[in-house]
Amino acid sequence: MIGKKNQWSRRRFLMATGTAGLGALMAPVNRLATAAETPTRVPTRPFGKTGVDVPILSLGGMFNIASNQVMMRQALRWGVTYWDTADCYQRGSEKGIGKFFNKYPQDRQKVFLVSKSDARDPDGMTKLLNRSLKRMKTDYLDLYFVHGIYDIDELDDSIRVWAEKAKAAGKIRFFGFSTHSNMETCLLEGAKLGWIDGIMMTYNYRLMHTKGMKRAVDACVKAGIGLTAMKTQGGGSVRTDTDTEIEMAGRFLEKGFTDGQAKLRAVWQNPNIASICSQMPNMSILMSNIAAAVNKTELSFRDTDLLQRYARETHSDYCTGCTNICESAVGEDIPIGDVMRYLMYRRSYGDRHLAMAEFNKIPENIRRRLAITDYSKAERRCPQKMAIGQLVKEAIQELS
């Protein structure tokens, strides 16, 4: 139900969007920021102490389909020269990049190319790195990540030695890790290591204002670590179910942003974030994100406040990845955070294929245990007050 105080906001919102409502915001309509009106290249920022400037928007994820080849070419023209993939990404992501460099070998030098390893041992990492290089038709990577760490202990001294050797051999320029679990601790501890050049972490308007995250980012900045934000949409599009959602969507529309663009701008307002990695599966999302990147309109305090209010009101819809809290309550091999993330891929990103592929990588014996585990203790501990048991049940039904 819409409260009286927000009837004005609702009227204004509907006048602006027409009867199509928020759905209209998802298309790059004339009055929204579009790439066509801003043909300049995406701005750059220094990536930690590496001495490299990277574009504030990076192209992430899947490079496998034919139309992506055109998109990669266009991305380069607009200055989106930071490309992110991983050995384990489904559907031949690295091969798509290899196909591009095979056709345009001169463009390799223009790209800050990043891939990731699921292995945690030197032999396994060497094998995966060599495979990534071969697939992408290149003899070096600009940045190589250990993929998706939960705890800094996953990076022991053998990995430091491995990274130094890989750099000396000219196979990688910089080294680091990505994380979407326990991000604050991983960043804080990573900053202490002294041999991490870059980190990619889940970071968005829901997470960026907590004391813990601010402290973690500051520690990385002091350590000269380049930071790339991912999952910056914080779980999907704004709906129009509540007063706050309507007020927020209407306000952003008046500024010339979709809610997705406004969420990107919220992250960019922290100058310590070098780049946002965004999966951009089609040209209209690429153009929309580029438009947001080149637009100089700042979000006001009121805009940021609205985003934070929205985050508070929808807290139980969003898993913040603090897996050390819930997983220790049920036994360490029950991957609650992963299951919540796969559900987000399905429901918020609409990527059923990816969600199912990732979910079904969970070993069968653990998947069986997912269904019979008692999550009540984890639910009591969860700071987001998520209905973990019910959500796991739904994930099993939707993703198995």
* Nearby residues of 55 by Cβ (< 8 Å), 6 or more positions away: 41, 42, 43, 44, 79, 80, 81, 82, 275, 293
Chain position carrying tokens 């709906």: 239
Interface with ligand SF4, residue 307, by CB under 6 A: no
The region of 55-63, 240-248, 266-274, 316-324 touching ligand SF4 under the rule CB under 6 A is 316-324
Residue 335 contacts ligand SF4 per CB under 6 A:
no
Q: Is 334 among the residues that bind ligand SF4 (CB under 6 A)?
A: no
User: Binder to ligand SF4 among 88, 225, 229, 326 (CB under 6 A)?
Assistant: 326
The span from the CA of 95 to the CA of 107, in Å, is 16
Instruction: Confirm or reject binding of residue 319 to ligand SF4 (CB under 6 A).
Output: yes
Question: Can you tell me the distance from the alpha carbon of 165 to that of 170, in angstroms, rounded to the nearest whole number?
Answer: 9
Q: Which residues lie below 8 Å from residue 361, measured CB to CB, with a gap of 6+? A: none
* CB of 129 or CB of 340, closer to ligand SF4: 340
Nearest-angstrom CA–CA distance, 230 and 200: 7
Please, what is the minimum distance in Å from the beta carbon of residue 327 to ligand SF4? 7
Specify the DSSP element, H or E, that contains 228.
Answer: strand 226-230
At its nearest, how many Å lie between ligand SF4 and the CB of residue 384?
4
Q: Kindly write out the interface string for residues 266-305 of this chain, putting x where it contacts ligand SF4 by CB under 6 A and - elsewhere.
A: ----------------------------------------
User: What is the bridge-based pairing of β-strands 275-279 and 57-60?
Assistant: parallel
Segment 340 to 359, residues that bind ligand SF4, using CB under 6 A: 340
Q: Which stretch binds ligand SF4 (CB under 6 A): 53-61, 153-161, 196-204, 380-388?
A: 380-388
- Tell me the closest approach of the beta carbon of residue 181 to ligand SF4, in angstroms: 7
Shortest distance, CB of residue 391 to ligand SF4, whole angstroms? 8
Least gap, CB of 395 to ligand SF4 (angstroms): 12
Query: Tokens for 43?
Result: 């701005």
Mark out the alpha helices in 314-351 (DSSP H runs).
323-330, 336-347
- Residue 384 binding ligand SF4, by CB under 6 A: yes
Among 337, 338, 345, 359, the residue binding ligand SF4 under the rule CB under 6 A is 337
29 binding ligand SF4? (CB under 6 A): no
322 binds ligand SF4 (CB under 6 A): yes
- Which CB atom, from 57 or from 388, has the smaller least distance to ligand SF4? 388
C-beta of residue 246 within 8 angstroms of C-beta of residue 17: no
323 contacts ligand SF4 (rule: CB under 6 A) = yes
Q: Which spans in 207-335 are helix H?
A: 211-222, 243-255, 259-268, 283-294, 301-313, 323-330
Q: 3-class SS at 59?
A: strand
Please say whether the beta carbons of 103 and 139 come within 8 A. Answer: no
The reply on whether position 235 binds ligand SF4 by CB under 6 A is no
Q: Could you list the residues that contact ligand SF4 (CB under 6 A)?
A: 319-323, 325-326, 336-337, 340, 382, 384, 386, 388
